[in-house]
């Protein structure tokens, strides 16, 4: 049996090779571009428009979010997407207000998710795709949600998962983002929504490792559904918003079928997971 001293150098070599591959596959249009800049947002939108495969992943996300909204939430109120970035959800659901902390012509409003401009109990639903881990404070976010979400309404998040494949990839994918499952705090005072190193494991910390703490600290919210999502290889092979697409667009139906076959193995192979949180009726 080999000792850890023999394994560590091999692990480092594999990590080095993986990072070299990531650098090779990165879209050259993003070379030297600040990932939190307006320029990056514009480029990401251009990249998304040019990738039918990646757009199909987001269409799946949007439809899932809407189904969860209609299944779990009740009452009237606004529907808001925060951290929308390149979002095109309005093409499917025009009633959604799309917002981000950065201004862009395709967005409705500039909104900080921890300090929204809405009156008390005016939101039926808040949607967030890959933005929760960019919030400087999870506590501040849910304090604001407690104010603006109407009873019976709630929050729907899609975030990086924490299974073996997800944490291996996300830990090494972006220089500006980490995947630290040992972090004790739910906040990072050095992180803002427009700069800093985000922890992609935040949803794991809050809703899984520290779920009892979340339920005690925010008793007026209940986690009504969590599940892994099955778009793993469609997302990876599309290259996402930062890398080259690796397969032609005509393969999309076959890759989606393959992802569906792997869905029972989501605990190990999923890249993303869904969290649905409902505000209790008081």
Q: What is the pLDDT of residue 36?
A: 75
Q: Could you tell me if 129 and 89 are in contact, meaning their C-beta atoms sit under 8 angstroms apart?
A: no
Q: Could you tell me if 148 and 70 are in contact, meaning their C-beta atoms sit under 8 angstroms apart?
A: no
Q: What is the pLDDT of residue 16?
A: 66
Tell me, letter by letter, the H, E, C secondary structure of 122-188. Answer: CEEEEEEECCHHHCCEHHHHHHHHHHHEEEEEEEEEEEECCCHHHHHHHHHHCCCEECCCCCCCCEC
Considering the domain boundaries, does residue 12 fall inside one? no
Considering the domain boundaries, does residue 6 fall inside one? no
pLDDT(221) > 80: yes
CB atoms within 10 A of CB 139: 17
**% of the chain beyond a pLDDT of 90:** 70
CATH number at residue 211: 3.40.50.150
- Among 123-127, 172-176, 247-251, the minimum mean pLDDT is found in 172-176
Rounded CA gap, 270 and 209, in Å?
18
Phi, psi of 160 (to 5 degrees): -55, 135
Q: What is the mean pLDDT of the chain?
A: 90
pLDDT(142) > 80: yes
Considering the domain boundaries, does residue 125 fall inside one? yes
Q: Could you tell me if 225 and 235 are in contact, meaning their C-beta atoms sit under 8 angstroms apart?
A: no
Q: What is the pLDDT of residue 1?
A: 44
Q: Across residues 234-243, what is the average pLDDT?
A: 92
Q: Across residues 76-95, what is the average pLDDT?
A: 96
pLDDT(263) > 50: yes
Q: Could you tell me if 166 and 160 are in contact, meaning their C-beta atoms sit under 8 angstroms apart?
A: yes
Considering the domain boundaries, does residue 17 fall inside one? no
Q: What is the pLDDT of residue 4?
A: 47
DSSP state of 250: G
Q: Across residues 212-217, what is the average pLDDT?
A: 97
Rounded CA gap, 198 and 135, in Å?
8
How far apart, in Å, are the Cα atoms of 128 and each of 6, 57, 79, 156, 228? 43, 15, 11, 6, 16
Q: Across residues 132-153, what is the average pLDDT?
A: 96
pLDDT digits (tens, 9 = 90+) for 158-205: 999 999 999 989 887 777 788 999 999 998 766 555 456 789 999 999
- Among 38-42, 108-112, 268-272, the minimum mean pLDDT is found in 38-42
Q: What is the pLDDT of residue 26?
A: 78
Considering the domain boundaries, does residue 170 fall inside one? yes
- The residue behind tokens 């571009």 is 33
The whole domain housing 37 covers 30-279
Q: Which are the contacts of 154, defined by CB distance < 8 A and separation ≥ 6?
A: 72, 73, 125, 126, 221, 224, 276, 277, 278, 279
Considering the domain boundaries, does residue 117 fall inside one? yes
Q: Could you tell me if 135 and 163 are in contact, meaning their C-beta atoms sit under 8 angstroms apart?
A: no
At residue 2 the predicted structure's pLDDT band, cuts being 50, 70 and 90, is very low
- The residue behind tokens 């910390």 is 205
Helix (H) or strand (E) holding 12: helix 4-25
Q: Across residues 117-132, what is the average pLDDT?
A: 97
Q: What is the pLDDT of residue 188?
A: 76
- Among 17-26, 135-144, 258-267, the minimum mean pLDDT is found in 17-26
SS3 207: helix
Considering the domain boundaries, does residue 260 fall inside one? yes
First to last CA, the chain: 59
Stronger pLDDT, 228 or 49, i.e. the higher one: 228
What's the number of domains the chain is made of? 1
Strand partners, 110: 100
Q: Across residues 105-112, what is the average pLDDT?
A: 94
- The residue behind tokens 């005690």 is 216
pLDDT(121) > 50: yes
Considering the domain boundaries, does residue 102 fall inside one? yes
**% of the chain beyond a pLDDT of 70:** 89
CA 227 distance to own-chain centroid = 14
pLDDT(74) > 50: yes
pLDDT digits (tens, 9 = 90+) for 7-32: 567 666 766 666 666 667 778 887 87
Q: How much is the pTM?
A: 0.90
For the record, the structure tokens of 51 come out as: 């990738």
């Amino acid at each position: 049996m080999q000792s850890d001293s023999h394994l560590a150098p091999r692990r480092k070599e594999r990590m080095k090779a993986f990072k070299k591959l990531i650098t090779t596959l990165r879209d050259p249009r993003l070379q030297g571009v600040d990932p939190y800049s307006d320029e990056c947002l514009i480029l990401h939108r251009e990249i998304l428009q040019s990738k039918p495969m990646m757009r199909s992943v987001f269409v799946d996300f949007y439809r899932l979010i809407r189904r969860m909204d209609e299944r779990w939430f009740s009452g009237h109120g606004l529907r808001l997407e925060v951290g929308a970035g390149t979002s095109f959800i309005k093409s499917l659901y025009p009633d959604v207000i799309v917002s981000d902390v950065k201004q862009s012509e395709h967005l409705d409003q500039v909104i900080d998710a921890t300090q929204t401009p809405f009156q008390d109990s005016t939101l039926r639903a808040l949607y967030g795709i890959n933005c929760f881990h960019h919030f400087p404070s999870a506590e501040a976010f849910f304090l604001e949600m407690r104010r603006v979400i109407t009873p019976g309404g709630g929050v729907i998040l899609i975030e990086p998962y924490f299974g073996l494949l997800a944490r291996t990839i996300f830990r090494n994918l972006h220089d500006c983002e980490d995947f630290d499952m040992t972090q004790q705090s739910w906040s990072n005072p050095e992180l803002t929504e427009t700069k800093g190193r985000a922890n992609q494991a935040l949803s794991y910390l809050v809703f899984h490792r520290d779920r009892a703490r979340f339920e005690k600290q925010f008793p007026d919210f209940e986690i009504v559904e969590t599940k892994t999502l099955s778009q793993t290889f469609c997302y990876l092979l599309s290259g996402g918003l930062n890398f080259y697409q690796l397969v032609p667009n005509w393969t999309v139906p076959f890759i989606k079928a393959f992802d569906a076959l792997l869905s029972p193995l989501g605990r190990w192979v999923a890249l993303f997971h869904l969290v649905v949180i409902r505000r209790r009726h008081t």
